[in-house]
Structure 1
């Protein structure tokens, strides 16, 4: 795989891991006529032991590729805990389910906050595909009191029995494999991936759309953006959200699903100016647009169409109970009160102030990240959306 000059060259052992994954994808290509971009993304992110989310390389934090909100400040997780507590307190046998718990920081801080406000839960389930991340999570949570630590249960698949719970998914939707399409004045195409022998690298291969589902969505987007110009209009489509929500509703007897991710409602997602789509890759704290850079060593994401999420939620018998920006959600859930500690040293107060800026400023995470609440068999005005509820924008 040829290095991108703008990005750091990975160390030799990481390059060797990427080469193993590259060879595996090439073998798949040799056996099958074509590889859709969604399937390539699935290989790159989720191949056991080799994919980005399943290998043992550092991903989160200063030594990794990106920083998540729970890593920026414990206040983020404490705010989530306050919203969760409002619902947990109304459930007869409350639990929490967290998808993709990263290094376990959010789970630790939520458990501590729930304990501090005297909210009992039966279990804290963590659904984790990576054995390496599970070990890191266990190490992070080992500092908890035994009574809290014993509530944590790791699962490799969804709960097999009905539970009442608050389900948390922070930056989960953006990591789901997406299809990519290109709309041009004279044709509409679907993105596939091929191996370029000359460049010794994967590359794009756009073929005319033949799948009715893709064509229907392409027509809808064209109606919204108008005739694309000669440069074409690229965009991403996530077909995994609907089955994922259906799987959650199968085990969730009653409770709340909180989705936190970067994205837009549909009318903002599909704008003529967004002609290159939202596909983003992250390597060593650098963002770029080449998903073929050392497969398995970088994150590959796409922004979320929250209108599609709402439609899938309704189809899965959820109620969309709230939708707002991360800044509005955190402030409505007690962020300012948690940050106000006049007895803290000045250096600590300045540190917390900077953390709050990162979490809430429009130029940082405050506006780009959205929070959506889905409820099932639970009807309650949620505190996190009392400041400003943007459901009307969906």
Structure 2
């Protein structure tokens, strides 16, 4: 990118052979790219490089504690791992959507440990609405292995695929999927915009490097202050691809994030990029490659617009807490014990997951007619997208 790059050093830790191997791949990619790698390409390698990336290697990811039985630790916990009440409640929306759209298959992207799939399938079976197929799309071989073990009781209906078919139908689920898709970083410094990427210092260690760019956030950022943020072309491209192929059914995505006006608020000047490891967070994605999750909050306005541009109708947008209550969380948890009820509070309380996490649903126009999903019956926030 020539002499216009701005550089600041952040050396990388080399604590494991996995990290060293992945670092070598990243170093080679930087050299091949002419000395500068856009952050989204770096993030894709850090998370998904075959056998080495965070989501493709064999290190444990999901769990309640940083150190578990047998010495196996975890980095973070998702809603299905907190309590089965989550999946049992989501299953009510799935059951309604299957009937309303006249479909018989459930698709789940990024199924993690298989906990959500197990909860949904158990609940659907109890309702007498077991789908003909439950198809999981997951790039991680190690997680697929865990999913097969967890879902052994439903092996007759669960299937795995690597790529999407040209056409598909059914109810799509994605819990904490969009946040793990690579993002581009934009930095406004002294009034000029740069794309932030990764380069090598004189010791061949990773460091940040900024290159002048014509890219801009979708909203003007008021004020003269320096500003760092993310844009999400890969997540939006994924949604457009899904929209083009889903000819009948509905899609529900649950994730943490904001509508556009909040995402690009002038006060959010440090962006939302964050790393998770051992149930702690940091802001150093260039360290401990392959050993930590790298994630950014979701711009739900951008996702909704991508779906609309591909011909979909937005069915609803609300907080996770409101969505779960609308779907009958209280009834589902009525006979749960004290621990389950305590975990349930984390799902809905505003200072926990209830407000930060949102639910966005969309469907092909033919599947959206004369149907309002129960999850958005009260508190729908489409007008805020």
TM-score by length of 1: 0.89
Q: Of 201, 206, 220, which residue of structure 1 is paired with 2:205? A: 201
For residues 179 and 299 of structure 2, the distance between their equivalents in structure 1, rounded to whole angstroms, comes to 10
Residue in 2 that maps onto 1:7:
none
Q: Is the 8 A contact 1:44 1:51 kept in 2?
A: yes
Superposed CA offset, 1:81-108 (max 9, x none): 1001111113444100000100101111
Residue in 2 that maps onto 1:154:
160
Residue in 2 that maps onto 1:132:
142
Q: Is the 8 A contact 2:243 2:307 kept in 1?
A: no
Unaligned runs of 5+ in 1: 5-9
Superposed CA offset, 1:151-210 (max 9, x none): 0001111134x3320001111110000000111333111101012234x63111111114
Give the 3-state SS of the residue equivalent to 1:324 in structure 2.
strand
For residues 243 and 197 of structure 2, the distance between their equivalents in structure 1, rounded to whole angstroms, comes to 32
Unaligned runs of 5+ in 2: 1-9, 66-72
Q: Of 373, 377, 384, which residue of structure 2 is paired with 1:382? A: 373
For residues 93 and 186 of structure 1, the distance between their equivalents in structure 2, rounded to whole angstroms, comes to 51
Give the 3-state SS of the residue equivalent to 1:293 in structure 2.
coil
Q: Of 73, 78, 82, which residue of structure 2 is paired with 1:72? A: 82
Superposed CA offset, 1:239-258 (max 9, x none): 01232122212331211100
The yes-or-no answer on 1:369 pairing with 2:357 is yes
Q: Of 81, 94, 114, which residue of structure 2 is paired with 1:104? A: 114
The yes-or-no answer on 1:242 pairing with 2:236 is yes
Q: Is the 8 A contact 1:321 1:375 kept in 2?
A: yes
- CA 1:120–1:321 in structure 2 vs 1: closer, same or farther (change >3 Å)? same
Residue in 1 that maps onto 2:26:
25
Q: Is the 8 A contact 2:318 2:376 kept in 1?
A: yes
Q: Is the 8 A contact 1:52 1:298 kept in 2?
A: yes
Alignment RMSD: 1.7
Within a 5 Å distance, the mapping from 1:175-214 to structure 2 comes to: 175-198=180-203, 201-210=205-214, 214=215
For residues 92 and 175 of structure 1, the distance between their equivalents in structure 2, rounded to whole angstroms, comes to 31
Q: Is the 8 A contact 2:105 2:131 kept in 1?
A: yes
For residues 93 and 326 of structure 1, the distance between their equivalents in structure 2, rounded to whole angstroms, comes to 25
Q: Of 222, 226, 232, which residue of structure 2 is paired with 1:226? A: 222
Matched residue count: 364
TM-score by length of 2: 0.91
Residue in 2 that maps onto 1:357:
345
Q: Is the 8 A contact 1:184 1:228 kept in 2?
A: no
